[in-house]
């Protein structure tokens, strides 16, 4: 089997379409299709199938894509070994993060890594299921999911937990609920809300809260960018769910964050990477720096509590 053709199969699995693979590799879609057809001719079972107008991997194709990732990892490790003997300067380490993670982590990461690696930082706010695909273009991808969401696919990726972040209620400082140390779900009846767009992780939080209070939340605004949502909260027009650590810098000028009473709602913030990216010393150094920065952020609980996280990622907070 040709390693380059195996790589194309894996790219199809990660990027989701022949057109996306062709665009990323700067070749024509027909060239990609021809190479996939050549690979298929050497394998006795179907590797792809049509789903609507898209070409997707079959179960056998998925298995071969996993094998392809191991080939890519071995080749990357070999190249890294040769580069170390030639004293080549490491390429920049690409780090992608959703907006609020970038706001909270990018600055401290730059300071923490110093001159140990060069960084190429990108903000990428995408629906939850699209985060793994970003690893095709970036060495490290900071992604988030709710506790009840499916875990990240581990067949072709490595997953590194960064932090388990409580989700709090953002309110105007003059809102009646802002006087409370904690807010119960029942207190949130009849409120006007800002939500993220559908398919983005935090949209599921309001559905969860609606189930707890037996009322569908009234969503007046859909805003993904927390700094924009914070301005609406400061106007007193609506309230929102915001992550405690990454939204902490926004809790100023009339906006406050208040935790939920009872079992807190949390999101998991993780780093996703392709195995071959981790063959580079600089990528591993940036990953460790990210974990250090995230550890500091989670330790600085603005509410001064000593929350503990159990093995299942559940936060236990003293009342």
Q: Which CATH architecture has domain 93-164+266-316?
A: 3-Layer(aba) Sandwich (3.40)
Q: What's the pLDDT at 305?
A: 43
Region of 238 on the Ramachandran plot (φ > 0 left; ψ -120 to 50 alpha; else beta): beta
Angle at 134 between CA 281 and CA 265, to 5 degrees: 100
pLDDT for 107: 94
Report the alpha-carbon distance of residue 128 to residue 147 in Å, rounded. 12
State the pLDDT confidence band at 259, using cuts at 50, 70 and 90: very high
Instruction: In whole angstroms, give the CA distance from residue 67 to residue 9.
Output: 10
Q: Which is nearest to 273 in space by CA: 161, 163, 165? A: 161
pLDDT in tens, 204-213: 889 888 988 8
Give the whole-angstrom CA distance, residue 181 versus residue 70: 50
Using the predicted structure, report yes or no on whether residue 126 has a pLDDT greater than 70. Answer: yes
* Residue 303 pLDDT greater than 50, yes or no: no
- What pLDDT score does 301 carry? 56
User: 306 pLDDT exceeds 70?
Assistant: no
- Write down the CATH superfamily of domain 167-258: Periplasmic binding protein-like II (3.40.190.10)
Residues 6+ apart with CB under 8 A from 111: none
Q: Do the beta carbons of residue 5 and residue 36 sit within 8 Å?
A: yes
Q: What is the mean pLDDT of residues 75-101?
A: 74
Q: What is the pLDDT of residues 158-180, one digit of tens each?
A: 999 999 999 999 999 999 999 99
CATH of domain 3-86: 1.10.10.10
Tell me, what's the pLDDT at 113?
Answer: 95
Q: What is the pTM of this model?
A: 0.72
Q: How far are the Cα atoms of 75, 126, 236, 314 from residue 197, in angstroms, in the given order? A: 40, 10, 21, 26
Write down the mean pLDDT value for the chain: 85
Strand (E) or helix (H) holding 162:
strand 158-172
Tell me the mean pLDDT in the region 216-222: 95
Cα dihedral sign for 227, 215, 187, 304? negative
CA dist 236 and 36 (Å) reads 56
Q: What is the mean pLDDT of residues 121-140?
A: 91
> Is pLDDT at 193 greater than 70 in this prediction?
yes
Nearest to 42 by CA among 66, 23, 60, 24: 60
C-alpha span between 296 and 289 (Å, rounded): 11
- Asked if the domains at 93-164+266-316 and 167-258 fall in one CATH topology, the answer is yes
Please name the helix (run of DSSP H) or strand (run of DSSP E) that holds residue 165, with its range, or none: strand 158-172
The string of pLDDT tens digits covering residues 225-235 is: 999 999 999 99
Q: List the end-to-end C-alpha distance of the chain, in Å, as a whole number.
A: 60
- The SS3 of residue 155 is coil
Distance from the Cα of residue 70 to its chain's centroid? 23
Q: What is the pLDDT of residues 12-31, one digit of tens each?
A: 888 888 888 888 888 888 88
% of the chain residues with pLDDT over 70: 89
Tell me the domain boundaries of the chain.
Answer: 3-86, 93-164+266-316, 167-258
Q: How open is the CA angle 88-93-96, to the nearest 5 degrees?
A: 165
Residue 96 pLDDT: 97
């Amino acid at each position: 089997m040709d390693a380059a053709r195996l790589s194309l199969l894996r790219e199809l699995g990660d990027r989701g379409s022949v057109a996306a693979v062709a665009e990323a590799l700067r070749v024509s879609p027909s060239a990609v299709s021809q190479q996939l057809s050549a690979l298929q001719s050497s394998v006795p079972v179907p590797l792809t199938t049509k789903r609507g107008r898209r070409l997707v991997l079959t179960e056998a194709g998925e298995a071969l894509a996993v094998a392809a990732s191991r080939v890519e990892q071995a080749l990357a490790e070999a190249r890294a070994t040769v580069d170390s003997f030639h004293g080549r300067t490491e390429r920049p380490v690409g780090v992608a993060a959703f907006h609020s993670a970038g706001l909270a982590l990018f600055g401290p990461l730059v300071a923490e890594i110093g001159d140990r690696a060069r960084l190429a930082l990108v903000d990428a706010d995408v629906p939850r299921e699209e985060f793994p695909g970003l690893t095709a273009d970036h060495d490290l991808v900071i992604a988030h999911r709710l506790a009840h969401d499916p875990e990240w696919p581990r067949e072709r990726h490595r997953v590194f937990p960064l932090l388990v972040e409580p989700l709090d209620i953002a309110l105007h400082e003059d809102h009646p609920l802002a006087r409370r140390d904690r807010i119960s779900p029942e207190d949130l009846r009849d409120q006007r809300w800002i939500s993220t767009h559908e398919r983005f992780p935090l949209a599921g939080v309001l559905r969860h809260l609606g189930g707890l209070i037996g009322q569908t939340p009234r969503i007046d605004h859909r805003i993904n960018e927390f700094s924009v949502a914070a301005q609406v909260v400061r106007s007193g027009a609506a309230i929102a769910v915001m992550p405690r650590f990454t939204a902490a810098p926004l809790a100023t000028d009339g906006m406050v964050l208040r935790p939920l009473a009872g079992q807190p709602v949390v999101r998991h913030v993780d780093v996703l990477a392709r195995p071959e990216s981790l063959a580079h010393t600089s990528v591993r150094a940036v990953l460790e720096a990210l974990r250090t920065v995230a550890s500091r952020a989670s330790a600085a609980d603005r509410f001064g509590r000593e929350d503990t996280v159990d093995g299942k990622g559940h936060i236990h907070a003293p009342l």
